[in-house]
Amino acid sequence: MKVAVVGATGMVGSVMLKVLEERNFPLTELIPVASEKSVGKKIAYNGKEFEVVSLETAVSMKPEVAIFSAGGDTSLEWAPKFASAGTTVIDNSSAWRMNPKHKLVIPEINANLLSKEDRIIANPNCSTIQLLMALKPLHDTYKIKRVVVSTYQSITGTGVKAVQQLENEYAGKKEEMAYPYPIHKNALPHCDVFQDNGYTKEEMKLTNETKKILGDDSVNVTATAIRIPVVGGHSESVNIEFEKDFDVVDVRKILSDFPGITVQDNPELNTYPMPIYAEGKDDVFVGRLRRDLSQPNTLNMWIVADNLRKGAATNAVQIAEYLLEQKLL
């Protein structure tokens, strides 16, 4: 099993290597891929060193799987070339997510849609993955009408350049910036680029990807995405209106029973999810479960997950594991 990791030198790519290693993914050959400037660099994996190669070289090596985390343009251009060479691509960019020909997969929710014919599979956006992990079991039970979500997103979601910006600001250095404003001691109501409708792309991803993953266009999501100077993961304040009424005790049980979710919800002991504890973990953490007192059938919650793990690398590796288990490669 040859596995190419495209974007191996990046923020997501380096976590991808860690997750493949930790989960003992049965690869026989790792093919780390990055831009031309990184070709020849050495990448450590499972006690061995592998040399970074170009995209062209990687395609010619015909890997069984290629996991892409190298931006949308790279995916648009290169994923079809890998697919034509017989490789199954799992793509972390937004390039293929809303394309009706491609599946958008969170394994706990809809891996059953996958077939041998799927050569380019899309990994959802990081903030969508953690939101949907909590929404899915509740939608199945109470049917969601509308979701209002505000995100508090980690700078690691903007890649190595953003982490560098924060470090430079800590050190008082004026260098190239990933954001239009300082991020240290700040909150930017601006994740990804603005669209003509006044929302950012990140906000519209939450709206559109939710409908596609749940396979239900009736679920309405409105989002505000905020970038904050945090590294451990993304947090989300979520208000959900259901068709049916619920009991918070049942909600807690439904969420606890869902694979990949850990409920941390005990106000008496100050127990609630936080990014410093989510960092490096694969689970999605849910807490602050409480009824919205302002209208019927409505719940408030707080969701935290490591955007580089379940929001990106872990979800992609889980897709690869599923394909392998089901003999779909």
Ligand X SMILES: NC(=O)c1ccc[n+]([C@@H]2O[C@H](COP(=O)([O-])OP(=O)(O)OC[C@H]3O[C@@H](n4cnc5c(N)ncnc54)[C@H](OP(=O)(O)O)[C@@H]3O)[C@@H](O)[C@H]2O)c1
- Catalytic-role residue among 102, 139, 191, 234: 234
By CB under 6 A, residue 32 contacts ligand X = no
Burial 289-306 (b: 16+ CB within 10 A, else e): bebeeeeebbbbbbbbbb
Other CB atoms within 10 Å distance of the CB of residue 183: 21
Residues 300-329 touching ligand X, rule: CB under 6 A, are 307-308, 311-312
The answer to whether 110 touches 103, Cβ cutoff 8 Å, is yes
Residues 119-138 touching ligand X, rule: CB under 6 A, are 126
Segment near ligand X (CB under 6 A); pick from 3-11, 202-210, 238-246, 277-285:
3-11
Cα-trace Rg, the chain = 20
Residues 220-259 touching ligand X, rule: CB under 6 A, are none
By CB under 6 A, residue 160 contacts ligand X = yes
Pairing of strands 261-263, 298-305: unpaired
Q: How far apart are CA 31 and CA 89, in angstroms?
A: 13
Segment near ligand X (CB under 6 A); pick from 67-75, 96-104, 167-175, 238-246:
67-75
Specify whether 126 is catalytic: yes
Q: Mask: binding to ligand X, 68-107, rule CB under 6 A, as x and -? A: -xxxx-x-----------------xx--------------
SS3 101: coil
Specify whether 190 is catalytic: no
Q: Which of 51, 50, 71, 216 is nearest to 144 (CA)?
A: 216
> Where do contacts with ligand X occur on this chain (CB under 6 A)?
7-13, 34-35, 37-38, 55, 69-72, 74, 92-93, 126, 156-157, 159-161, 307-308, 311-312
Which amino acids are annotated catalytic? 126, 234
